[in-house]
Amino acid sequence: MIGFWNRKEVYVGTSLDEFNNLRDLLSEGNIKYKTRIVDRSNASAVGSSRARVGTSGQNLELAYTYYIYVHKDDYQAATEITSNRIR
């Protein structure tokens, strides 16, 4: 099981293509992973100006941040697999 106490981050970025490519590489290498996607344009209850101005002027390609985590015991293998991101 991959929990917050035993995971390591192998990717953080804003590219959906790279995120999907790395997930495919990890799957092919039989490495289990967890993902997290954060919507930076999402209005929060506190401190967000989106409710007032919307997403005008924002680069929507940067609206999401993608994270991939693996078990800390699989980190070395995952970094070796993902170090060659180009197929």
Mean pLDDT of 34-49: 73
- b/e code 46-83 from CB counts within 10 Å (16+ = b): eeeeeeeeeeeeeeeeeebebbbbbbeebbeebeebbe
The answer as to whether 30 is a domain residue is yes
- Name the pTM for this structure: 0.78
What does the pLDDT read at residue 72? 96
Q: Please report where in the chains the tokens 């289990």 appear, as a residue.
A: 32
Report if residue 51 sits inside a domain. Answer: no
| Residues spanned by the domain of 73 | 7-43+57-82
Number of compact structural domains in the chain: 1
